[in-house]
Amino acid sequence: MSETHDVLVIGSGAAGLTAALELAQSKKVLVLAKGKLDSGSTAWAQGGIAAVLDAGDTFENHIRDTMVAGGGLNDLETVEFVIERAPAAIDRLCELGVPFNREEGDLHLTREGGHSHRRIVHVNDATGWAVQAALLKAAEENPNITLLPHQSCIDLITGRNQKEFSGSGRVWGAYALDEETGEVVTHVARATVLAAGGAGRVYLFSTAPRGATGDGIAMAWRAGARVSNMEMMQFHPTCLYNLEVKNFLITEAVRGEGGRLFNPVTGERYMEKYDPERMELAPRDIVARANDDQIKRYGLDYVHLDISHLAPEFVMEHFPTIHEKLMGLGIDMTKGPIPVVPAQHYTCGGVKIGLDAKTDLPGLWAAGECTESGLHGANRLASNSLLECFVFGEAAAKDILECWDKLDDPPEILPWDESRVTDSDEEVVIKQNWTEIRRFMWNYVGIVRTTKRLERAAHRIRMLREEVEDYYGHFRVTTDLIELRNLLECADLIVKSALKRHESRGLHFILDYPETDSVARDTVLVP
């Protein structure tokens, strides 16, 4: 089955819906979501959105904070471009009805690690839910937008899939598996926006949703786009340690409002050893390494995050979602500490894009966590991620509308061919390989790295690639198989990038090269 649209948007989070709403003013837009429409990372974002809105704050301060956190690897022009557009992005969200917290009519601003000022607008500690809900409501009410959940994109359609073969690399949409019918649909479009999120589930412990398997990054790479800085994987210092509940994040703002870290065995408040000036408010890479070091050094399962020295009313008012969730698990954060561990949190690298959100491939724009725009550099500053989604979602839409008349009508595209495949009889192979990837990536390519461990990971990836490609060639696609193939591709890109960087910078900390080079260089991989 083949369908043709003006614009195809892959992903229904902040970046995808921002682009769709802008484009739908004059174009027909199809938005594909893997799983439910609100199952991406946007809905999970607890902290908020960073913007200069305070009288004493300036764009220069926010730019400097972003560059410092990013280890100098950020692109200054991109950082300026995004931060100067932040207040307008917040205004648009207010117009869409996002109920940001206010104090006497003004937006309430909180502070997070790495920020020199209070500049995080938020909706309690569940900002992402509110933003996702407002964007979805606007998209559902727009007659030019069609939202299709439960679609797993397999690959981008390029000139290679034209009836008359072309090596141009021009993107014409995507092949997607409709999970409900089991059919692969050919979605053809004049322009395609990739907003498919990050690759967090490459790791054993991750705060990312189940679907964050790097699909967009892997598809763009296979289609011929460059990727950049994939070794820069951000680990959040404080994910709840609980064997029943996986991936529950304890927001940065808990430390921003006075939470302290302690070693549960020695009772010591240890951040003064690692960053005596900023303590718990140091950027995430430093706090995550400190937590990791304490856990490894003392053989701990977790460390303690404690905010119980503050008034219970203050804690419950600021962190209602977290408080309620923890109470359900028998943990009262107003009376005692929360057990936490570091966990993969954000993919700072990705598909290389310019300020117009263009990728290397004609017809393909990208925005959000699947991209490397130059904003985050070697480490993302807290609450800059949703901001990037709004700014580049809009940039992609504007550029598409500006060059619309120059975009050709799509040619005839070959349908998906599954004439030589059968239904799988060995789902266990997928489960085994998925678990293996996540475990060796956590152990060998985690918070602290060595060349030897990276080479071991590379060796495992080579072996698994043969297995997965053989399996993919013989069996009908399922979402699990699509995700496994993409996870392995992203694991390979992360390891290759990490082996190329012979220095420690930001999130890439390698014992063989502990020094930081005087010149910051991106790690760009070319397909």
Distances (CA, A) of 223 to 173, 191, 400, 437, 461: 12, 15, 20, 23, 20
- 3-state SS of 349-372 is CEEECCCCCECCCCCEEECCCCEE
- 3-state SS of 427-478 is HHHHHHHHHHHHHHHHHHCCCCECHHHHHHHHHHHHHHHHHHHHHHHHECCC
284 is catalytic: yes
Radius of gyration of the chain measured on its C-alpha atoms:
22
Spatial distance between the Cα atoms of 253 and 114, rounded to a whole number of angstroms: 11
Structure tokens at 216: 């967009």
Backbone angles phi, psi at 368, to 5 degrees: 90, -155
Instruction: Indicate which residue of 119, 190, 284, 453 is catalytic.
Output: 284
Helical pair 59-69 and 76-84, crossing angle rounded to 10 deg = 140
Work out the number of other CB atoms within 10 angstroms of the CB of residue 273: 11
Is-contact 224 527, C-beta < 8 A? yes
Contacts of 69 (CB under 8 A, 6+ apart): 114, 283, 284, 377, 379, 380, 381, 506
Is-contact 345 251, C-beta < 8 A? no
Spatial distance between the Cα atoms of 387 and 50, rounded to a whole number of angstroms: 7
Nearest CA to 302 among 274, 256, 263, 271?
263
Structure tokens at 189: 């479009």
Distances (CA, A) of 427 to 40, 154, 210, 252, 408: 25, 18, 18, 38, 42
Is-contact 351 217, C-beta < 8 A? yes
- Bridge-based pairing of strands 2-10 and 29-32 is parallel
Distances (CA, A) of 175 to 10, 152, 243, 403: 11, 9, 37, 24
Query: What are the residue numbers of the active site?
Result: 284
